[in-house]
Structure 1
Amino acid sequence: MNGRKAFRRMAPEGYRIRMMEPGEAERLRAIDAAAGRLLVEAGHVARADPPPLPDFVRFLLTHEVFVAQEKRGAPVGYAAAADLAALVGDPDAGGCYWLAALAVDPAHGRRGVGSALLQAVVRRAEWFFHRAVGLSTARALPIGEGFYAARRFVGVAEADLTPALLKRREMEWPSGAAPGSRAVMVRWL
Protein backbone atom coordinates (compact mmCIF):
# COMPACT_ATOMS: atom_id res chain seq x y z
CA MET A 1 0.00 0.00 0.00
CA ASN A 2 1.55 3.33 -0.97
CA GLY A 3 1.77 6.45 1.20
CA ARG A 4 -1.13 8.16 -0.54
CA LYS A 5 -3.61 5.33 0.01
CA ALA A 6 -2.55 3.79 3.33
CA PHE A 7 -4.58 6.22 5.45
CA ARG A 8 -7.56 6.73 3.17
CA ARG A 9 -10.73 7.88 4.94
CA MET A 10 -8.89 8.64 8.18
CA ALA A 11 -8.86 12.42 7.81
CA PRO A 12 -11.74 14.82 8.38
CA GLU A 13 -13.66 16.16 5.37
CA GLY A 14 -11.46 18.29 3.12
CA TYR A 15 -8.16 16.74 4.32
CA ARG A 16 -6.14 13.61 3.76
CA ILE A 17 -3.33 11.82 5.61
CA ARG A 18 -0.26 10.55 3.79
CA MET A 19 3.43 9.98 4.36
CA MET A 20 5.87 12.88 3.95
CA GLU A 21 7.18 13.58 0.47
CA PRO A 22 10.51 15.15 -0.58
CA GLY A 23 10.73 18.92 -0.34
CA GLU A 24 8.29 19.41 2.55
CA ALA A 25 10.70 20.10 5.41
CA GLU A 26 10.39 23.89 5.33
CA ARG A 27 6.59 23.80 5.39
CA LEU A 28 6.55 21.26 8.23
CA ARG A 29 9.03 23.40 10.18
CA ALA A 30 6.71 26.40 9.75
CA ILE A 31 3.79 24.31 11.05
CA ASP A 32 5.91 23.23 14.00
CA ALA A 33 6.77 26.86 14.79
CA ALA A 34 3.13 27.97 14.60
CA ALA A 35 2.01 25.11 16.85
CA GLY A 36 4.86 25.88 19.26
CA ARG A 37 3.46 29.35 19.78
CA LEU A 38 0.40 27.71 21.35
CA LEU A 39 2.67 26.29 24.07
CA VAL A 40 4.03 29.77 24.69
CA GLU A 41 0.51 31.21 24.93
CA ALA A 42 -0.46 28.42 27.35
CA GLY A 43 2.53 29.26 29.56
CA HIS A 44 4.28 25.90 29.13
CA VAL A 45 7.43 27.53 27.74
CA ALA A 46 8.66 31.10 27.45
CA ARG A 47 9.88 30.65 23.88
CA ALA A 48 9.34 28.09 21.15
CA ASP A 49 11.90 28.92 18.49
CA PRO A 50 11.98 26.40 15.65
CA PRO A 51 15.23 24.48 15.23
CA PRO A 52 17.53 25.43 12.37
CA LEU A 53 16.37 23.81 9.15
CA PRO A 54 19.32 21.33 8.93
CA ASP A 55 18.56 20.10 12.48
CA PHE A 56 14.87 19.77 11.66
CA VAL A 57 15.66 17.79 8.50
CA ARG A 58 17.87 15.43 10.56
CA PHE A 59 14.95 14.97 12.97
CA LEU A 60 12.56 14.17 10.11
CA LEU A 61 14.99 11.66 8.61
CA THR A 62 15.13 9.64 11.85
CA HIS A 63 11.33 9.26 12.00
CA GLU A 64 8.41 8.14 9.90
CA VAL A 65 6.54 11.33 9.08
CA PHE A 66 2.78 11.43 8.57
CA VAL A 67 1.37 14.53 6.88
CA ALA A 68 -2.11 16.03 6.97
CA GLN A 69 -2.84 17.95 3.83
CA GLU A 70 -5.75 19.97 2.55
CA LYS A 71 -7.09 18.06 -0.42
CA ARG A 72 -5.17 19.35 -3.44
CA GLY A 73 -3.39 21.79 -1.13
CA ALA A 74 -0.49 22.31 1.19
CA PRO A 75 0.40 20.35 4.33
CA VAL A 76 -1.37 21.64 7.45
CA GLY A 77 -0.01 19.24 10.06
CA TYR A 78 2.39 16.41 10.68
CA ALA A 79 3.31 13.67 13.14
CA ALA A 80 6.74 12.06 13.48
CA ALA A 81 7.20 8.66 15.11
CA ALA A 82 9.79 5.89 15.35
CA ASP A 83 10.59 2.80 17.36
CA LEU A 84 11.67 3.86 20.86
CA ALA A 85 14.51 1.33 20.92
CA ALA A 86 16.08 2.94 17.84
CA LEU A 87 15.61 6.47 19.19
CA VAL A 88 17.32 5.83 22.53
CA GLY A 89 19.74 3.09 21.47
CA ASP A 90 18.28 0.55 23.93
CA PRO A 91 17.12 -2.79 22.49
CA ASP A 92 15.15 -3.46 25.69
CA ALA A 93 12.82 -0.58 24.74
CA GLY A 94 11.50 -2.40 21.67
CA GLY A 95 7.78 -2.73 21.08
CA CYS A 96 6.98 0.92 21.77
CA TYR A 97 6.34 3.22 18.83
CA TRP A 98 7.28 6.71 20.02
CA LEU A 99 5.37 9.80 18.89
CA ALA A 100 8.10 12.44 18.88
CA ALA A 101 6.07 15.27 17.35
CA LEU A 102 2.50 16.16 16.49
CA ALA A 103 1.80 19.64 15.16
CA VAL A 104 -1.14 21.22 13.36
CA ASP A 105 -1.23 24.71 11.91
CA PRO A 106 -3.48 26.63 14.33
CA ALA A 107 -5.49 27.90 11.35
CA HIS A 108 -6.62 24.28 10.88
CA GLY A 109 -6.99 23.40 14.56
CA ARG A 110 -10.06 21.95 16.22
CA ARG A 111 -11.19 20.21 13.02
CA GLY A 112 -9.96 16.69 13.79
CA VAL A 113 -6.66 16.99 11.92
CA GLY A 114 -4.54 16.22 15.01
CA SER A 115 -6.77 13.29 15.92
CA ALA A 116 -6.46 11.92 12.39
CA LEU A 117 -2.68 12.18 12.49
CA LEU A 118 -2.64 10.40 15.84
CA GLN A 119 -4.92 7.69 14.46
CA ALA A 120 -2.50 7.17 11.55
CA VAL A 121 0.42 6.76 13.97
CA VAL A 122 -1.54 4.25 16.06
CA ARG A 123 -2.58 2.33 12.94
CA ARG A 124 1.03 2.19 11.76
CA ALA A 125 2.12 0.88 15.17
CA GLU A 126 -0.55 -1.83 14.99
CA TRP A 127 0.48 -2.86 11.47
CA PHE A 128 4.00 -3.55 12.69
CA PHE A 129 2.99 -5.26 15.93
CA HIS A 130 4.14 -2.69 18.45
CA ARG A 131 2.68 -3.24 21.92
CA ALA A 132 2.20 0.46 22.64
CA VAL A 133 2.46 4.03 21.38
CA GLY A 134 4.29 6.34 23.78
CA LEU A 135 4.93 10.07 23.97
CA SER A 136 5.86 12.93 26.25
CA THR A 137 3.69 16.02 26.39
CA ALA A 138 2.86 19.13 28.34
CA ARG A 139 1.28 18.19 31.65
CA ALA A 140 -2.15 19.61 32.56
CA LEU A 141 -2.78 21.40 29.25
CA PRO A 142 -5.80 20.68 27.03
CA ILE A 143 -3.47 20.74 23.98
CA GLY A 144 -1.09 18.32 25.71
CA GLU A 145 -2.04 15.78 28.33
CA GLY A 146 -5.78 16.45 27.97
CA PHE A 147 -5.74 15.85 24.21
CA TYR A 148 -4.01 12.47 24.54
CA ALA A 149 -6.01 11.33 27.58
CA ALA A 150 -9.20 11.83 25.55
CA ARG A 151 -7.71 9.45 22.97
CA ARG A 152 -7.02 6.50 25.31
CA PHE A 153 -3.49 7.43 26.41
CA VAL A 154 -2.72 6.98 30.09
CA GLY A 155 -0.08 8.71 32.14
CA VAL A 156 2.92 6.74 33.34
CA ALA A 157 3.76 7.39 36.99
CA GLU A 158 7.23 8.78 37.63
CA ALA A 159 8.18 5.64 39.61
CA ASP A 160 7.21 3.44 36.64
CA LEU A 161 9.29 5.20 33.98
CA THR A 162 11.86 2.89 32.45
CA PRO A 163 15.35 4.20 31.69
CA ALA A 164 14.37 4.49 28.00
CA LEU A 165 11.23 6.49 28.79
CA LEU A 166 13.16 8.79 31.12
CA LYS A 167 15.85 9.32 28.51
CA ARG A 168 13.36 10.13 25.78
CA ARG A 169 11.38 12.50 28.00
CA GLU A 170 14.58 14.36 28.89
CA MET A 171 15.56 14.56 25.21
CA GLU A 172 12.20 16.19 24.43
CA TRP A 173 12.05 18.52 27.42
CA PRO A 174 11.63 22.01 25.95
CA SER A 175 14.10 24.67 26.96
CA GLY A 176 12.57 26.79 29.70
CA ALA A 177 9.83 24.30 30.66
CA ALA A 178 9.36 24.00 34.41
CA PRO A 179 10.45 20.85 36.25
CA GLY A 180 7.59 18.37 36.43
CA SER A 181 5.75 19.94 33.50
CA ARG A 182 6.13 16.97 31.14
CA ALA A 183 4.03 13.81 31.28
CA VAL A 184 4.89 10.48 29.67
CA MET A 185 1.81 8.76 28.30
CA VAL A 186 1.21 5.37 26.70
CA ARG A 187 -1.61 3.85 24.70
CA TRP A 188 -1.56 0.06 24.86
CA LEU A 189 -2.42 -1.73 21.62
Structure 2
Amino acid sequence: MADEPGRRAFKGLAPKGYRIRVMEPGEAPELLAIERAATALLVAAGREELAGEPPPPLGAFVERILAHDVFVAENKASGTPAGFALGRDLGELYWLAELSVDPAHGRRGLGTALLAAVRARAEWFFHRALGLSTYAEVPFNAPFYEARGFVRVLRKDLPPFLLERLLSETPAGALPEDRTVMVRWL
Protein backbone atom coordinates (compact mmCIF):
# COMPACT_ATOMS: atom_id res chain seq x y z
CA MET A 1 0.00 0.00 0.00
CA ALA A 2 2.84 2.42 0.70
CA ASP A 3 3.51 2.80 -3.05
CA GLU A 4 -0.06 3.73 -4.02
CA PRO A 5 -0.38 7.21 -5.57
CA GLY A 6 -2.91 8.38 -2.96
CA ARG A 7 -0.33 7.79 -0.25
CA ARG A 8 2.67 9.21 -2.15
CA ALA A 9 1.06 12.45 -3.26
CA PHE A 10 1.21 14.10 0.14
CA LYS A 11 4.39 12.51 1.47
CA GLY A 12 6.19 14.64 4.01
CA LEU A 13 3.24 16.88 4.90
CA ALA A 14 2.09 15.08 8.05
CA PRO A 15 3.63 15.19 11.51
CA LYS A 16 5.54 12.18 12.82
CA GLY A 17 3.34 9.11 13.24
CA TYR A 18 0.79 10.26 10.64
CA ARG A 19 0.41 10.44 6.88
CA ILE A 20 -1.89 12.40 4.59
CA ARG A 21 -3.65 10.50 1.83
CA VAL A 22 -6.89 10.42 -0.12
CA MET A 23 -9.96 8.72 1.29
CA GLU A 24 -10.26 4.97 0.86
CA PRO A 25 -13.49 2.99 0.34
CA GLY A 26 -15.43 2.21 3.50
CA GLU A 27 -14.06 5.07 5.62
CA ALA A 28 -17.19 7.22 5.70
CA PRO A 29 -18.38 5.95 9.13
CA GLU A 30 -15.00 6.78 10.69
CA LEU A 31 -14.96 10.23 9.09
CA LEU A 32 -18.49 10.92 10.29
CA ALA A 33 -17.41 9.99 13.83
CA ILE A 34 -14.52 12.47 13.53
CA GLU A 35 -16.92 15.17 12.34
CA ARG A 36 -19.18 14.51 15.35
CA ALA A 37 -16.25 14.71 17.76
CA ALA A 38 -15.04 17.95 16.15
CA THR A 39 -18.56 19.39 16.43
CA ALA A 40 -18.49 18.60 20.15
CA LEU A 41 -15.35 20.79 20.38
CA LEU A 42 -17.24 23.65 18.75
CA VAL A 43 -20.07 23.24 21.27
CA ALA A 44 -17.53 23.31 24.11
CA ALA A 45 -16.04 26.49 22.57
CA GLY A 46 -19.38 28.26 22.88
CA ARG A 47 -21.27 27.33 19.74
CA GLU A 48 -24.24 25.97 21.71
CA GLU A 49 -26.53 26.12 18.67
CA LEU A 50 -24.69 23.06 17.36
CA ALA A 51 -25.57 21.01 20.45
CA GLY A 52 -29.15 20.56 19.29
CA GLU A 53 -28.19 19.67 15.75
CA PRO A 54 -28.82 15.99 15.09
CA PRO A 55 -25.81 14.39 13.43
CA PRO A 56 -26.33 13.79 9.75
CA PRO A 57 -27.31 10.27 8.81
CA LEU A 58 -24.50 8.29 7.22
CA GLY A 59 -26.19 8.37 3.81
CA ALA A 60 -26.38 12.18 3.77
CA PHE A 61 -22.77 12.42 4.92
CA VAL A 62 -21.67 10.06 2.12
CA GLU A 63 -23.53 12.18 -0.44
CA ARG A 64 -21.73 15.26 0.81
CA ILE A 65 -18.24 13.77 0.78
CA LEU A 66 -18.77 12.30 -2.69
CA ALA A 67 -19.16 15.86 -4.00
CA HIS A 68 -15.65 16.73 -2.73
CA ASP A 69 -12.03 15.69 -2.82
CA VAL A 70 -11.42 13.96 0.52
CA PHE A 71 -8.03 14.22 2.23
CA VAL A 72 -7.41 11.98 5.23
CA ALA A 73 -4.87 12.24 8.04
CA GLU A 74 -4.09 8.64 8.97
CA ASN A 75 -2.55 7.39 12.19
CA LYS A 76 0.31 5.21 10.89
CA ALA A 77 0.28 2.93 13.93
CA SER A 78 -3.39 1.99 13.68
CA GLY A 79 -4.04 2.73 10.01
CA THR A 80 -7.19 4.62 10.99
CA PRO A 81 -8.29 8.15 10.11
CA ALA A 82 -7.45 10.86 12.64
CA GLY A 83 -8.82 13.79 10.64
CA PHE A 84 -10.03 14.82 7.22
CA ALA A 85 -10.61 17.75 4.90
CA LEU A 86 -13.11 18.23 2.10
CA GLY A 87 -12.13 20.35 -0.90
CA ARG A 88 -14.01 21.37 -4.02
CA ASP A 89 -13.16 23.06 -7.30
CA LEU A 90 -15.04 26.35 -7.78
CA GLY A 91 -13.21 27.52 -10.88
CA GLU A 92 -10.32 29.82 -10.01
CA LEU A 93 -11.05 29.24 -6.33
CA TYR A 94 -10.54 25.94 -4.53
CA TRP A 95 -12.96 25.70 -1.62
CA LEU A 96 -12.18 24.07 1.74
CA ALA A 97 -15.64 22.87 2.76
CA GLU A 98 -14.55 21.18 5.99
CA LEU A 99 -11.50 20.42 8.08
CA SER A 100 -12.06 18.14 11.08
CA VAL A 101 -9.54 16.51 13.40
CA ASP A 102 -10.39 13.91 16.01
CA PRO A 103 -9.82 15.64 19.37
CA ALA A 104 -7.85 12.58 20.51
CA HIS A 105 -5.27 13.55 17.84
CA GLY A 106 -5.55 17.30 18.23
CA ARG A 107 -2.76 19.82 18.75
CA ARG A 108 -0.25 17.72 16.79
CA GLY A 109 -0.27 19.60 13.49
CA LEU A 110 -2.84 17.50 11.64
CA GLY A 111 -5.04 20.49 10.77
CA THR A 112 -2.04 22.29 9.33
CA ALA A 113 -0.99 19.16 7.42
CA LEU A 114 -4.47 18.66 5.97
CA LEU A 115 -4.55 22.31 4.95
CA ALA A 116 -1.16 21.85 3.24
CA ALA A 117 -2.57 18.90 1.28
CA VAL A 118 -5.58 20.95 0.19
CA ARG A 119 -3.27 23.77 -0.85
CA ALA A 120 -1.06 21.35 -2.81
CA ARG A 121 -4.08 20.01 -4.66
CA ALA A 122 -5.22 23.56 -5.48
CA GLU A 123 -1.78 24.46 -6.80
CA TRP A 124 -1.56 21.30 -8.95
CA PHE A 125 -4.67 22.44 -10.80
CA PHE A 126 -3.66 26.12 -11.01
CA HIS A 127 -6.29 27.61 -8.73
CA ARG A 128 -5.65 31.25 -7.89
CA ALA A 129 -6.80 31.01 -4.28
CA LEU A 130 -8.13 28.85 -1.47
CA GLY A 131 -11.38 29.88 0.19
CA LEU A 132 -13.48 28.79 3.16
CA SER A 133 -16.14 29.90 5.58
CA THR A 134 -15.74 29.47 9.31
CA TYR A 135 -16.66 30.84 12.71
CA ALA A 136 -15.04 34.23 13.11
CA GLU A 137 -14.26 34.12 16.83
CA VAL A 138 -13.65 30.44 17.66
CA PRO A 139 -9.87 30.19 18.36
CA PHE A 140 -9.38 27.04 16.30
CA ASN A 141 -11.36 28.48 13.38
CA ALA A 142 -10.67 31.94 11.85
CA PRO A 143 -7.56 32.68 13.98
CA PHE A 144 -6.14 29.26 12.98
CA TYR A 145 -6.53 30.11 9.29
CA GLU A 146 -5.22 33.67 9.73
CA ALA A 147 -2.03 32.23 11.21
CA ARG A 148 -1.69 30.23 7.98
CA GLY A 149 -2.00 33.15 5.57
CA PHE A 150 -5.76 33.47 5.11
CA VAL A 151 -7.46 36.86 5.26
CA ARG A 152 -11.05 37.66 6.11
CA VAL A 153 -13.22 39.05 3.34
CA LEU A 154 -15.61 41.75 4.48
CA ARG A 155 -19.25 40.84 3.96
CA LYS A 156 -19.78 43.90 1.72
CA ASP A 157 -16.95 42.69 -0.55
CA LEU A 158 -18.25 39.15 -1.06
CA PRO A 159 -19.32 38.30 -4.58
CA PRO A 160 -22.83 36.79 -4.65
CA PHE A 161 -21.60 33.21 -5.09
CA LEU A 162 -19.44 33.44 -1.95
CA LEU A 163 -22.22 35.06 0.08
CA GLU A 164 -24.50 32.22 -1.02
CA ARG A 165 -21.86 29.66 0.00
CA LEU A 166 -21.41 31.36 3.39
CA LEU A 167 -25.15 31.24 4.01
CA SER A 168 -25.43 27.61 2.88
CA GLU A 169 -22.59 26.61 5.24
CA THR A 170 -24.03 28.44 8.24
CA PRO A 171 -25.45 25.76 10.56
CA ALA A 172 -29.08 25.91 11.60
CA GLY A 173 -29.44 28.12 14.66
CA ALA A 174 -26.19 30.00 13.98
CA LEU A 175 -26.11 33.59 12.83
CA PRO A 176 -24.40 34.29 9.50
CA GLU A 177 -22.80 37.31 11.21
CA ASP A 178 -20.86 34.89 13.44
CA ARG A 179 -19.15 33.43 10.40
CA THR A 180 -16.64 34.81 7.95
CA VAL A 181 -15.31 33.98 4.49
CA MET A 182 -11.55 33.76 4.25
CA VAL A 183 -9.20 33.47 1.28
CA ARG A 184 -5.54 32.76 0.72
CA TRP A 185 -4.01 33.70 -2.59
CA LEU A 186 -1.73 31.09 -4.12
Q: Name the TM-score class by shorter chain.
A: over 0.9
Q: Match for 1:176 among 161, 173, 177?
A: 173
Paired AA for residue 55 in structure 1: A
**1:158-173 correspondence to structure 2 within 5 Å:** 158-173=155-170
**1:72-151 correspondence to structure 2 within 5 Å:** 72-73=77-78, 74-84=80-90, 94-151=91-148
What secondary structure does 1:80 align onto? strand
CA shift at 1:2, angstroms?
1.2
- Asked if residue 63 in structure 1 is aligned to residue 68 in structure 2, the reply is yes
Structure 1 residues 48-73: Cα deviation after superposition (integer angstroms, max 9, x where no partner) = 53211110000010000000000142
Q: Tell me the distance in 1 between the aligned counterparts of 2:35 and 2:61.
A: 10
Structure 1 residues 136-164: Cα deviation after superposition (integer angstroms, max 9, x where no partner) = 00111111101100000000011110111
Q: Tell me the distance in 2 between the aligned counterparts of 1:165 and 1:45.
A: 25
Could you list the runs of 5+ residues in structure 2 that have no partner in the other structure? none
Structure 1 residues 8-35: Cα deviation after superposition (integer angstroms, max 9, x where no partner) = 0100000000000000000000000000
Paired AA for residue 129 in structure 1: F
Q: Tell me the distance in 2 between the aligned counterparts of 1:45 and 1:173.
A: 14
> Would you say the 8 A contact 2:69–2:86 is kept in 1?
yes
Paired AA for residue 78 in structure 1: F
Q: Tell me the distance in 2 between the aligned counterparts of 1:45 and 1:63.
A: 27
Could you list the runs of 5+ residues in structure 1 that have no partner in the other structure? 85-93
> Would you say the 8 A contact 1:45–1:176 is kept in 2?
no
> Would you say the 8 A contact 1:44–1:138 is kept in 2?
no
Q: Which residue of 2 aligns with 1:50?
A: 55
Mean alpha-carbon deviation: is it higher for 43-52 or for 53-62?
43-52
> Would you say the 8 A contact 1:45–1:174 is kept in 2?
no
Q: Which residue of 1 aligns with 2:29?
A: 26
What secondary structure does 1:32 align onto? helix
Q: Tell me the distance in 2 between the aligned counterparts of 1:102 and 1:45.
A: 19
Q: Which residue of 1 aligns with 2:16?
A: 13
Structure 1 residues 95-135: Cα deviation after superposition (integer angstroms, max 9, x where no partner) = 00000010000010000001000000001000100000000
Between the two proteins, the alignment pairs up a number of residues equal to 180
Q: Tell me the distance in 2 between the aligned counterparts of 1:179 and 1:120.
A: 28
What TM-score, normalized to structure 1? Answer: 0.92
Q: Which residue of 2 aligns with 1:88?
A: none
Cα root mean square deviation, aligned? 1.1
CA shift at 1:83, angstroms?
1.1
In percent, how many aligned pairs have the same letter?
Answer: 58
